[in-house]
Amino acid sequence: MAQQRRAPTPPITGKYCEDHMPDYKDVEHLKKFLSAHGQIVSRKRSGYCTQCQKALKLAIKRARHMALLPFVG
C-alpha cells in the first residue's frame, strides 16, 4: 500500500501579512510568536511568508535589545 502523502500547506496570502505586520513596539503582538522559553517560533507556526518572518525576527530582536521582550524565559 502506497504511503499517503501529507497535503501541502496552503500558501498564506499577502493579506494576512499586511494586516499583521510585525513592529518592535507592538510587544503584545510579538509575544504570540515566542515559545515558552522565549524562542522565535517557526514559519509554520507563525503563518508568516518568508519576507514577513524575517521582519518578525528583526522586530523581536529589536524589542529584546530594548528590554521589551526577554532573551530567555
Partner 1 sequence: MKTKTYETMVLLDNALVREDWKKAKAAVTDTLAKHGATVLTCRRFDEKKLAYPVKGRNRGTFVMCYFTLEKETMADIRRDWELSEKVLRSLILRVEEVPAKEHELAAAEDSADFVVPAPPPDDMVEEEPVAEAAPADEIMVPDLNDIDMPAKG
C-alpha 53/C-alpha 47 separation (Å) is 8
C-alpha 65/C-alpha 28 separation (Å) is 16
Report the nearest approach of partner 1 to the CB of residue 4 (Å).
44
Of 6-14, 43-51, 61-69, the window that binds partner 1 (rule: CB under 8 A) is 61-69
CA distances for 27 relative to 4, 8, 10, 21, angstroms:
41, 32, 28, 12
Residue 61 lies near partner 1 (rule: CB under 8 A):
no
Q: Which is nearer to partner 1, 24 or 48 (CB)?
A: 24
Residue 14 lies near partner 1 (rule: CB under 8 A):
no
Task: Give the binding site for partner 1 (CB under 8 A).
Answer: 24-25, 62, 64-71
